[in-house]
Amino acid sequence: MDVRTSAPGKLVIAGDYAVLEGAPAVVMALNRRAQVTIVDSADGDFCIDAPELDIQQAHARLESGKLCWQDAGVGERLNLVTAVLEHLAGQGMLVDGFHAHLDTQAFFSAYRRRDKLGLGSSAALVVALVGAIHARYGHEPPNLEAMLAMHRQMQGGRGSGLDIAASLMGGLLVYRLQDGRPHAVQTSWPRELALCCVWSGRPASTGKALGQLAQWRRNHPADYDKLMNELTVEATAVAAALQADDARAMADGMAAYASGLERLGQASGIDIVCAEHRSVADMADDCGVVYKTCGAGGGDVGIACATDHDRLKHFAKQVDSAGFYVLGVNIDVQGLAVETSAPSNRRQSWTTYA
Protein backbone atom coordinates (compact mmCIF):
# COMPACT_ATOMS: atom_id res chain seq x y z
CA MET A 1 0.00 0.00 0.00
CA ASP A 2 1.22 3.46 -0.91
CA VAL A 3 0.32 6.30 1.42
CA ARG A 4 0.47 10.08 1.29
CA THR A 5 -0.30 12.29 4.24
CA SER A 6 -0.19 15.90 5.33
CA ALA A 7 -0.59 17.78 8.61
CA PRO A 8 -0.79 21.52 9.39
CA GLY A 9 1.52 23.75 11.38
CA LYS A 10 0.41 26.02 14.20
CA LEU A 11 0.32 29.47 15.77
CA VAL A 12 0.00 29.90 19.54
CA ILE A 13 -2.49 32.70 20.15
CA ALA A 14 -2.25 32.57 23.97
CA GLY A 15 -1.05 30.21 26.68
CA ASP A 16 2.62 30.13 25.63
CA TYR A 17 4.71 28.66 28.49
CA ALA A 18 1.78 28.73 30.97
CA VAL A 19 0.15 25.77 29.20
CA LEU A 20 2.88 23.66 30.83
CA GLU A 21 1.30 24.49 34.19
CA GLY A 22 -2.28 23.65 33.19
CA ALA A 23 -3.34 27.01 31.75
CA PRO A 24 -5.60 26.94 28.69
CA ALA A 25 -3.84 27.63 25.41
CA VAL A 26 -5.43 28.91 22.25
CA VAL A 27 -3.70 27.33 19.26
CA MET A 28 -4.51 27.71 15.57
CA ALA A 29 -3.73 25.13 12.88
CA LEU A 30 -2.25 26.84 9.81
CA ASN A 31 -2.47 26.18 6.09
CA ARG A 32 1.26 25.42 6.00
CA ARG A 33 1.43 21.63 5.83
CA ALA A 34 4.11 18.97 6.18
CA GLN A 35 3.70 16.20 3.61
CA VAL A 36 4.85 12.58 3.66
CA THR A 37 4.65 9.98 0.89
CA ILE A 38 5.46 6.33 1.59
CA VAL A 39 5.94 3.68 -1.09
CA ASP A 40 7.49 0.22 -1.13
CA SER A 41 11.24 -0.01 -0.64
CA ALA A 42 13.20 -1.63 -3.45
CA ASP A 43 15.56 -3.50 -1.12
CA GLY A 44 13.61 -3.77 2.14
CA ASP A 45 15.60 -0.98 3.79
CA PHE A 46 14.15 2.22 5.17
CA CYS A 47 14.98 4.90 2.63
CA ILE A 48 14.37 8.60 3.36
CA ASP A 49 14.33 11.64 1.10
CA ALA A 50 14.27 14.99 2.94
CA PRO A 51 14.99 17.79 0.42
CA GLU A 52 14.89 20.57 3.04
CA LEU A 53 17.82 18.83 4.75
CA ASP A 54 19.58 18.11 1.45
CA ILE A 55 19.11 14.41 2.07
CA GLN A 56 18.39 11.94 -0.72
CA GLN A 57 18.25 8.17 -0.54
CA ALA A 58 19.37 7.87 3.09
CA HIS A 59 19.29 4.15 3.91
CA ALA A 60 18.86 2.42 7.27
CA ARG A 61 17.98 -1.00 8.69
CA LEU A 62 16.15 -1.81 11.88
CA GLU A 63 18.30 -4.02 14.10
CA SER A 64 17.10 -5.05 17.57
CA GLY A 65 14.73 -2.07 17.68
CA LYS A 66 17.42 0.43 16.68
CA LEU A 67 17.61 2.20 13.34
CA CYS A 68 21.11 1.85 11.91
CA TRP A 69 21.93 4.36 9.19
CA GLN A 70 24.47 3.59 6.52
CA ASP A 71 25.76 7.16 6.92
CA ALA A 72 25.92 8.11 10.60
CA GLY A 73 26.14 11.81 9.77
CA VAL A 74 22.89 11.67 7.83
CA GLY A 75 21.30 9.78 10.70
CA GLU A 76 22.08 12.63 13.10
CA ARG A 77 20.21 15.04 10.83
CA LEU A 78 17.25 12.65 10.74
CA ASN A 79 17.02 12.23 14.50
CA LEU A 80 13.29 13.04 14.46
CA VAL A 81 12.62 10.28 11.93
CA THR A 82 14.82 7.91 13.91
CA ALA A 83 12.87 8.59 17.12
CA VAL A 84 9.51 8.02 15.42
CA LEU A 85 10.53 4.77 13.73
CA GLU A 86 12.22 3.35 16.82
CA HIS A 87 9.20 4.21 18.95
CA LEU A 88 6.77 2.52 16.57
CA ALA A 89 9.10 -0.45 16.16
CA GLY A 90 9.03 -0.86 19.94
CA GLN A 91 5.25 -1.12 19.70
CA GLY A 92 5.49 -3.79 17.00
CA MET A 93 4.01 -1.49 14.35
CA LEU A 94 6.74 -1.77 11.69
CA VAL A 95 6.66 -4.88 9.51
CA ASP A 96 9.11 -4.01 6.75
CA GLY A 97 11.08 -1.14 5.30
CA PHE A 98 9.70 1.57 3.03
CA HIS A 99 10.73 4.59 1.00
CA ALA A 100 9.50 7.88 2.49
CA HIS A 101 9.62 11.36 0.97
CA LEU A 102 9.38 14.15 3.57
CA ASP A 103 8.33 17.61 2.42
CA THR A 104 8.47 20.54 4.88
CA GLN A 105 9.15 23.27 2.34
CA ALA A 106 6.11 25.28 3.47
CA PHE A 107 7.78 25.90 6.85
CA PHE A 108 10.90 27.58 5.51
CA SER A 109 11.44 31.17 4.50
CA ALA A 110 10.98 31.97 0.83
CA TYR A 111 13.62 34.67 1.26
CA ARG A 112 16.34 32.68 3.04
CA ARG A 113 15.94 28.99 2.26
CA ARG A 114 17.66 27.66 5.36
CA ASP A 115 15.58 29.66 7.85
CA LYS A 116 12.69 27.88 9.54
CA LEU A 117 9.72 30.13 10.23
CA GLY A 118 8.77 28.63 13.59
CA LEU A 119 5.31 27.41 12.58
CA GLY A 120 5.47 23.94 14.12
CA SER A 121 7.14 21.98 11.34
CA SER A 122 8.52 19.27 13.64
CA ALA A 123 5.13 18.42 15.14
CA ALA A 124 3.45 18.53 11.73
CA LEU A 125 6.06 16.16 10.30
CA VAL A 126 5.75 13.77 13.25
CA VAL A 127 1.96 13.65 12.90
CA ALA A 128 2.13 13.17 9.13
CA LEU A 129 4.78 10.43 9.40
CA VAL A 130 3.01 8.54 12.20
CA GLY A 131 -0.28 8.82 10.32
CA ALA A 132 1.31 7.40 7.18
CA ILE A 133 2.80 4.44 9.03
CA HIS A 134 -0.50 3.70 10.80
CA ALA A 135 -2.26 3.67 7.42
CA ARG A 136 0.39 1.59 5.66
CA TYR A 137 0.11 -1.23 8.17
CA GLY A 138 -3.65 -1.03 8.68
CA HIS A 139 -3.70 0.41 12.19
CA GLU A 140 -6.31 2.80 13.54
CA PRO A 141 -5.50 6.52 13.07
CA PRO A 142 -3.30 7.91 15.87
CA ASN A 143 -5.08 9.56 18.78
CA LEU A 144 -4.05 12.67 20.68
CA GLU A 145 -3.10 11.02 23.97
CA ALA A 146 -0.88 8.40 22.34
CA MET A 147 0.75 11.03 20.11
CA LEU A 148 1.44 13.26 23.11
CA ALA A 149 3.02 10.39 25.05
CA MET A 150 5.29 9.58 22.12
CA HIS A 151 6.23 13.21 21.56
CA ARG A 152 7.07 13.71 25.23
CA GLN A 153 9.29 10.65 25.21
CA MET A 154 11.09 12.03 22.16
CA GLN A 155 11.57 15.41 23.88
CA GLY A 156 12.77 14.04 27.18
CA GLY A 157 9.48 14.76 28.95
CA ARG A 158 9.29 18.42 27.93
CA GLY A 159 6.62 20.18 25.91
CA SER A 160 2.87 20.58 26.26
CA GLY A 161 1.85 18.87 23.04
CA LEU A 162 -0.31 21.75 21.84
CA ASP A 163 1.50 21.71 18.49
CA ILE A 164 0.77 17.99 18.15
CA ALA A 165 -2.91 18.67 18.90
CA ALA A 166 -3.12 21.38 16.23
CA SER A 167 -1.43 19.18 13.62
CA LEU A 168 -3.58 16.17 14.43
CA MET A 169 -6.96 17.89 14.82
CA GLY A 170 -6.75 21.09 12.77
CA GLY A 171 -8.88 24.19 13.25
CA LEU A 172 -8.78 26.49 16.26
CA LEU A 173 -8.39 24.78 19.63
CA VAL A 174 -8.61 25.61 23.30
CA TYR A 175 -6.05 23.14 24.65
CA ARG A 176 -4.96 22.30 28.15
CA LEU A 177 -3.32 19.60 30.23
CA GLN A 178 -5.36 18.15 33.09
CA ASP A 179 -3.48 15.71 35.31
CA GLY A 180 -0.99 15.39 32.49
CA ARG A 181 -3.63 14.37 29.94
CA PRO A 182 -4.42 16.51 26.89
CA HIS A 183 -7.86 18.02 26.37
CA ALA A 184 -8.72 19.99 23.23
CA VAL A 185 -11.96 21.68 22.25
CA GLN A 186 -12.48 23.10 18.78
CA THR A 187 -13.89 26.59 18.45
CA SER A 188 -14.16 29.44 15.92
CA TRP A 189 -12.22 32.66 15.37
CA PRO A 190 -14.19 35.89 16.01
CA ARG A 191 -15.22 37.33 12.66
CA GLU A 192 -14.58 40.89 13.81
CA LEU A 193 -10.97 40.23 14.80
CA ALA A 194 -8.43 40.46 11.97
CA LEU A 195 -5.13 38.62 12.33
CA CYS A 196 -1.69 39.11 10.77
CA CYS A 197 1.39 36.88 11.16
CA VAL A 198 4.90 38.39 10.98
CA TRP A 199 8.20 36.56 10.74
CA SER A 200 10.89 38.24 12.81
CA GLY A 201 13.67 37.19 10.43
CA ARG A 202 15.40 35.21 13.19
CA PRO A 203 14.93 31.45 13.72
CA ALA A 204 14.61 30.42 17.38
CA SER A 205 15.00 27.23 19.42
CA THR A 206 12.03 26.18 21.55
CA GLY A 207 14.08 23.47 23.23
CA LYS A 208 16.73 25.96 24.33
CA ALA A 209 14.11 28.32 25.77
CA LEU A 210 12.39 25.52 27.69
CA GLY A 211 15.75 24.41 29.07
CA GLN A 212 16.47 27.95 30.31
CA LEU A 213 13.01 28.14 31.85
CA ALA A 214 13.49 24.88 33.73
CA GLN A 215 16.82 26.09 35.12
CA TRP A 216 15.37 29.44 36.22
CA ARG A 217 12.41 27.68 37.84
CA ARG A 218 14.75 25.56 39.96
CA ASN A 219 16.59 28.66 41.16
CA HIS A 220 13.57 30.96 41.58
CA PRO A 221 10.49 28.83 42.32
CA ALA A 222 8.46 31.61 43.97
CA ASP A 223 9.03 34.03 41.09
CA TYR A 224 8.19 31.28 38.62
CA ASP A 225 4.91 30.47 40.37
CA LYS A 226 3.92 34.14 40.56
CA LEU A 227 4.49 34.80 36.87
CA MET A 228 2.86 31.55 35.78
CA ASN A 229 -0.20 32.34 37.89
CA GLU A 230 -0.44 35.74 36.19
CA LEU A 231 -0.11 34.18 32.75
CA THR A 232 -2.73 31.57 33.62
CA VAL A 233 -5.23 34.28 34.55
CA GLU A 234 -4.52 36.11 31.30
CA ALA A 235 -4.70 32.95 29.17
CA THR A 236 -8.02 32.02 30.80
CA ALA A 237 -9.38 35.46 29.90
CA VAL A 238 -8.35 35.03 26.25
CA ALA A 239 -9.96 31.58 26.06
CA ALA A 240 -13.16 32.88 27.66
CA ALA A 241 -13.34 35.83 25.25
CA LEU A 242 -12.80 33.48 22.31
CA GLN A 243 -15.58 31.15 23.38
CA ALA A 244 -17.88 34.15 23.93
CA ASP A 245 -17.02 35.43 20.42
CA ASP A 246 -15.95 38.74 21.98
CA ALA A 247 -13.35 40.14 19.58
CA ARG A 248 -12.51 43.26 21.58
CA ALA A 249 -12.06 41.35 24.85
CA MET A 250 -9.91 38.81 23.05
CA ALA A 251 -7.63 41.51 21.63
CA ASP A 252 -7.33 43.07 25.09
CA GLY A 253 -6.52 39.68 26.57
CA MET A 254 -3.83 39.05 23.97
CA ALA A 255 -2.28 42.43 24.77
CA ALA A 256 -2.21 41.53 28.47
CA TYR A 257 -0.68 38.15 27.67
CA ALA A 258 2.01 39.79 25.55
CA SER A 259 2.94 41.97 28.53
CA GLY A 260 3.06 38.92 30.76
CA LEU A 261 5.43 37.15 28.36
CA GLU A 262 7.71 40.17 28.39
CA ARG A 263 7.78 40.11 32.21
CA LEU A 264 8.59 36.40 32.13
CA GLY A 265 11.43 37.00 29.71
CA GLN A 266 12.89 39.82 31.78
CA ALA A 267 12.75 37.80 35.00
CA SER A 268 14.06 34.52 33.56
CA GLY A 269 16.69 35.89 31.18
CA ILE A 270 14.99 34.26 28.19
CA ASP A 271 15.03 36.63 25.23
CA ILE A 272 11.32 36.08 24.53
CA VAL A 273 10.70 39.57 23.15
CA CYS A 274 13.93 39.92 21.19
CA ALA A 275 15.05 43.09 19.41
CA GLU A 276 13.24 42.16 16.21
CA HIS A 277 9.97 41.54 18.02
CA ARG A 278 10.37 44.84 19.90
CA SER A 279 10.72 46.69 16.61
CA VAL A 280 7.56 45.08 15.25
CA ALA A 281 5.73 45.73 18.54
CA ASP A 282 6.65 49.42 18.35
CA MET A 283 5.14 49.61 14.86
CA ALA A 284 2.03 47.85 16.16
CA ASP A 285 1.69 50.44 18.95
CA ASP A 286 2.01 53.27 16.42
CA CYS A 287 -0.73 51.68 14.29
CA GLY A 288 -3.02 50.96 17.23
CA VAL A 289 -2.97 47.17 16.93
CA VAL A 290 -2.05 44.39 19.38
CA TYR A 291 1.17 42.39 18.85
CA LYS A 292 2.57 39.37 20.70
CA THR A 293 5.26 36.79 20.14
CA CYS A 294 4.20 33.22 19.43
CA GLY A 295 5.45 30.14 21.22
CA ALA A 296 8.85 30.34 22.89
CA GLY A 297 9.73 33.70 21.32
CA GLY A 298 13.34 34.77 20.87
CA GLY A 299 12.66 35.00 17.15
CA ASP A 300 10.36 33.00 14.85
CA VAL A 301 6.95 34.61 14.38
CA GLY A 302 4.59 37.00 16.12
CA ILE A 303 0.95 37.87 15.57
CA ALA A 304 -0.88 41.17 15.36
CA CYS A 305 -4.64 41.57 15.69
CA ALA A 306 -7.19 44.37 15.61
CA THR A 307 -10.93 44.88 15.39
CA ASP A 308 -10.20 47.74 12.99
CA HIS A 309 -9.18 45.92 9.80
CA ASP A 310 -7.85 49.07 8.14
CA ARG A 311 -5.40 49.62 11.00
CA LEU A 312 -4.11 46.09 10.60
CA LYS A 313 -3.63 46.60 6.85
CA HIS A 314 -1.66 49.77 7.57
CA PHE A 315 0.47 47.85 10.10
CA ALA A 316 1.20 45.13 7.52
CA LYS A 317 2.43 47.77 5.07
CA GLN A 318 4.65 49.37 7.72
CA VAL A 319 6.14 46.00 8.67
CA ASP A 320 6.84 45.15 5.04
CA SER A 321 8.49 48.53 4.46
CA ALA A 322 10.72 47.96 7.50
CA GLY A 323 12.07 44.72 6.02
CA PHE A 324 10.06 42.19 8.02
CA TYR A 325 7.88 39.58 6.37
CA VAL A 326 4.12 39.28 6.59
CA LEU A 327 3.26 35.61 6.12
CA GLY A 328 0.18 34.63 4.16
CA VAL A 329 -1.38 32.16 6.58
CA ASN A 330 -4.93 31.20 7.49
CA ILE A 331 -6.68 28.71 9.73
CA ASP A 332 -6.58 25.18 8.34
CA VAL A 333 -9.71 23.38 9.48
CA GLN A 334 -8.31 20.00 8.46
CA GLY A 335 -5.86 18.20 10.68
CA LEU A 336 -4.12 14.97 9.68
CA ALA A 337 -5.14 13.96 6.14
CA VAL A 338 -4.23 10.50 4.88
CA GLU A 339 -4.87 8.91 1.49
CA THR A 340 -3.96 5.43 0.28
CA SER A 341 -3.54 3.71 -3.06
CA ALA A 342 -2.79 0.16 -4.17
CA PRO A 343 0.86 -0.01 -5.33
CA SER A 344 -0.10 -2.36 -8.18
CA ASN A 345 -2.10 0.40 -9.85
CA ARG A 346 -0.42 3.80 -9.68
CA ARG A 347 -3.33 5.37 -11.55
CA GLN A 348 -5.94 4.19 -9.06
CA SER A 349 -7.72 7.01 -7.28
CA TRP A 350 -6.47 7.67 -3.77
CA THR A 351 -8.98 7.03 -1.03
CA THR A 352 -9.34 8.94 2.23
CA TYR A 353 -8.10 7.10 5.28
CA ALA A 354 -8.61 9.69 8.06
pLDDT digits (tens, 9 = 90+) for 256-303: 999 999 999 999 999 999 999 999 999 999 999 999 999 998 989 999
| pTM score of the predicted model | 0.92
Report the range of poorest mean pLDDT among 79-88, 105-114, 187-196: 105-114
Domain of 202, in residue numbers: 194-327
Same domain, 91 and 236: no
Return the CATH number at 73: 3.30.230.10
Same domain, 139 and 255: no
Spatial separation of the C-alpha atoms in residues 244 and 271, rounded to whole Å: 33
Answer with the residue of higher pLDDT: 72 or 305.
305
Same domain, 282 and 345: no
Q: What angle do CA 68, 73, 76 make, to 5 degrees?
A: 70
Q: What is the mean pLDDT of residues 17-24?
A: 95
Same domain, 86 and 131: yes
Same domain, 277 and 154: no
Spatial separation of the C-alpha atoms in residues 132 and 130, rounded to whole Å: 5
Same domain, 176 and 319: no
Percentage with pLDDT > 90 across the chain: 73
In which region does residue 197 sit, left (phi positive, over 0), alpha (psi from -120 to 50) or beta (all else)?
beta
Same domain, 37 and 181: yes
pLDDT digits (tens, 9 = 90+) for 139-164: 888 999 999 988 887 777 677 899 99
Residue type present at position 275: A
User: How many helical (H) and strand (E) elements, i.e. helices and strands, does the chain have?
Assistant: 10, 14
Same domain, 198 and 175: no
Same domain, 139 and 253: no
Same domain, 81 and 215: no
Number of domains in the chain: 2
Answer with the residue of higher pLDDT: 189 or 205.
189
Spatial separation of the C-alpha atoms in residues 137 and 155, rounded to whole Å: 26
- Residue 154's pLDDT is what? 78
Same domain, 48 and 75: yes
Q: What is the mean pLDDT of residues 45-66?
A: 91
pLDDT digits (tens, 9 = 90+) for 77-103: 898 999 999 999 999 888 889 999 999
Describe the strand order of the beta sheet including 290-293 as a list of residue ranges: 290-293, 301-306, 194-199, 325-327
* Burial of 8 per CB tally in 10 Å (0-12, 13-18, 19+): buried
**By the 8 A CB rule, do 181 and 291 touch?**
no
Return the CATH number at 267: 3.30.70.890
Same domain, 174 and 206: no
